[in-house]
Structure formats: structure tokens, C-alpha cells
Amino acid sequence: MARPTPYYPFFDRLFRQSVTVDLGTANTLIYTDDGGIVLNQPSVVCFQKEAADRPKRVAAVGTQARQLLGREPANLEAVRPMRHGVIANFSAAEHMIRQFVDMARPRPFFSRRAAFTLCVPAGATQVERRAIREAAAAAGAWKVSLIGESLASAVGAGLPVSEATGSMVVDIGGGTTEVGVIALGGMAYNGSIRVGGDSFDMAIVSYVRNLYGVLLGEQTAEHVKKNIGSAVRDVPREHMNATGRSVDDGLPRTVQLSNHDIADAIEGPLRQVIGAVKRGLETAPAELVTDIANNGIVLTGGGALLGNLSRRLTSEIGLEVRIADEPLTCAVRGAGMAAAAGLLDELAYE
């Protein structure tokens, strides 16, 4: 449970800082008005396990902790506290946020007591939202506002969110895909599915196990996806080697995978992503859909970088699809800009 945070109005006014945090399934980013993106780290925390002579403590966070994921020695435990855009392990999330804020804060004595704006997926339940608020409060925030990830991504991608024209943004993160239609500063449609880059990685792991009898680590699968991943099959073949453990004898084995293999492997989750986009077009108000047909769709989040994804989406839905500049940082930049400018109406926040 979060500790109650004492409130000192005088100090808050004096040292108040506004911090925006995108606590993502794969990556956490922190943005401040004066410093821009001050932290960009994998959402991983590594604990040194409890022993007779010492309590459990944080041994590493972020990049360092990620390197240990799946290869940690017996006394260490690497954890990904977020799953599908929400907290899966509360205490680990709290520790991770605390460490990240400490790493990012420019003024060491005061700025942990900042006003936080956090991105949340549209599909997060009330309980999940409260957990995110409490984790931020426990890590030192004196005030916590939440903003929908779609809206934040749309602002970060430079879409004209406050105009009457409808814009569609599709944010494909590690754990969720968010489809948003925005007009006049508010959400006209917001859909969220618990499918994202992690689902692609797991699909690659099970494809390689079923077809080649080799068990890949999730990080190896992600590495292959980033290097030769493709959302379509009709491209020249490219190959890459991946090493895992043979299901038969438990010994290391290397398999050669092609971009066509990856396209086959990820077809299931990819169809779910395409389905979510189609549902958005079917459900959003007709006038806005006309605008989207004219202006196209914008992709954000790391999943937007999957090879040939925009081509695949265009061929499935017949609209122009473009990838935002710097898709991995759109949500945090957009949330920071929205919070600073009061750009969006009160309804956008909770």
C-alpha cells in the first residue's frame, strides 16, 4: 500500500516540478519541461534476494537489469513489473519508479516530490489505474494525473488533436495496442487490446519450437523480430541465425530463420492488431472516419517499427498509413506537452 504523502503547500510551490512518466511494458521514459526526455530505460528491475544477513534490495534497474533478464545468477531476480501496460508486480513497480526518478532528477533534494502525469492504456481497469497512481505516490509524487496513451501519442506525433478534423493514431507498444480517434481535444473512439510486441516475440518462440524443436529465449526472439521481422511475405528472403535449446536433448542448437518465417510466426497477433484498427474505423463517428480516410493513419510505439507494417495495414484497410517520427518517444513527449500547455480539456485527465 502507498504511504500517505504529507502536503506542504509552501514547499510544493517553491520546488514544484512537473514530471511526465510513460511507464510502459517494455520501456519507461521520463520527460520534464526544461530537460526534455531525461530518462529512457527498459522497464526491468533486478533484486538481490533476501538472505539471512540482509533484506531484499534493488541490485540494478533499466538497461543493466535487462541484461540480466533470463540469465540471472541464483541470488538475483530480474523482474518486468509491467504487463500489458499495467502493473503486474506492485512492489517491483514502486522500486523501479523510485530508482528511475532518482536517476532522472536534476535537483537531488527536492524534485522527487513532483507532480506526475502518467500515461495509461485505455483498457486499464479502475483497480489497475489506482495501482499506477499509488505506485507513483509511493515513489514520491505529490500529485498524480493520468492521461490516455492514445491521446498522448497523438499529441507527440504532431496530429492536430484540438481541431475538429478526426485523426487516428495506432500505438503498438510492448504489451498493448491502442487505437484512438481524436477530435476537438478529446477521444471520439478509444480501443485497447492486450496484444503488442511481446505477443510477437512469444509467437516467434512458439513457432520456432513447433517447427524446429528449438526453444528460443524471449530476448533472442525479440532480437530476430527487430532485425528481420516482416509483416508481409512478398519480400526478398533475408536470413538470420538464432540459437536456443533443443527440445529433444536440451543442448544448444542454432537455426536459420528467414523474414518469411517471422511473417508466418506473427500472423496471429498481427491479425488481432489489424482487427483492432478495423474495429476503430467501423465504430468511430462517420464524419471522423471520412477525415481519417483523407488524412490517413499514424503509427506510434515501438511496434510501429516492425518491417513492412505500414504496407500491410494499407493493403488490408485501403488507407494511407505512416509511421510517426521517433515512434518510441511519442507518448511521453505528447503527455508532457499536453500537461504543460493545458492543451487538452479537463476531460482528458483523471
Annotated binding site: 25-27, 174-176, 222-225, 302-305
122 or 339: whose CB is closer to ligand ATP?
A: 122
Q: Which amino acid is located at 101 in the chain?
A: V
Chain residues binding Mg ion by CB under 5 A are: 24, 173
27-32 and 18-23: which strand pairing? antiparallel
Give how far the C-alpha of residue 107 lies from the chain's centroid of Cα atoms, to the nearest Å: 27
Cβ 306 to ligand ATP shortest distance, Å: 4
Which of ligand ATP, Mg ion, none is residue 176 near (CB under 5 to 8 Å by kind)?
ligand ATP
Q: Binding site for ATP, residues? A: 25-27, 174-176, 222-225, 302-305
Which of ligand ATP, Mg ion, none is residue 148 near (CB under 5 to 8 Å by kind)?
none
| Residue 24 within binding range of ligand ATP, rule CB under 6 A | yes
Q: Is residue 343 within 8 Å of 337, Cβ to Cβ?
A: yes
Kindly state the cell numbers that stand for 140: 514520491
CA triple 341-164-312, angle to 5 deg:
95
In whole angstroms, what is the distance from residue 129 CA to residue 120 CA? Answer: 7
148 or 229: whose CB is closer to Mg ion?
A: 148
Cβ 325 to ligand ATP shortest distance, Å: 14
**9 sits in which H/E element:** helix 9-15
Q: Which residue has the cell 524534485?
A: 111
Cβ 266 to Mg ion shortest distance, Å: 19
| Residue 302 within binding range of ligand ATP, rule CB under 6 A | yes
In whole angstroms, what is the distance from residue 128 CA to residue 132 CA? Answer: 6
| Residue 173 within binding range of ligand ATP, rule CB under 6 A | yes
In whole angstroms, what is the distance from residue 265 CA to residue 260 CA? Answer: 9
Residue from 269, 301, 334, 336 binding ligand ATP (CB under 6 A): 301
Q: Is residue 43 within 8 Å of 96, Cβ to Cβ?
A: yes
Q: Which amino acid is located at 167 in the chain?
A: S
In whole angstroms, what is the distance from residue 30 CA to residue 36 CA? Answer: 8
Q: Which amino acid is located at 336 in the chain?
A: G
Residue from 240, 305, 319, 323 binding ligand ATP (CB under 6 A): 305
Residue from 62, 156, 174, 244 binding ligand ATP (CB under 6 A): 174
Cα dihedral across residues 256, 64, 56, 28: positive or negative: negative
Residue from 166, 191, 229, 280 binding ligand ATP (CB under 6 A): 229
Cβ 159 to ligand ATP shortest distance, Å: 17
Nearest residue to ligand ATP, by Cβ distance, number only: 197
Which of Mg ion, ligand ATP, none is residue 123 near (CB under 5 to 8 Å by kind)?
none
148 or 229: whose CB is closer to ligand ATP?
A: 229
Q: Give the interface with ligand ATP as residue ranges (CB under 6 A).
A: 24-27, 85, 149, 173-176, 196-198, 222, 225-226, 229, 301-303, 305-306, 328
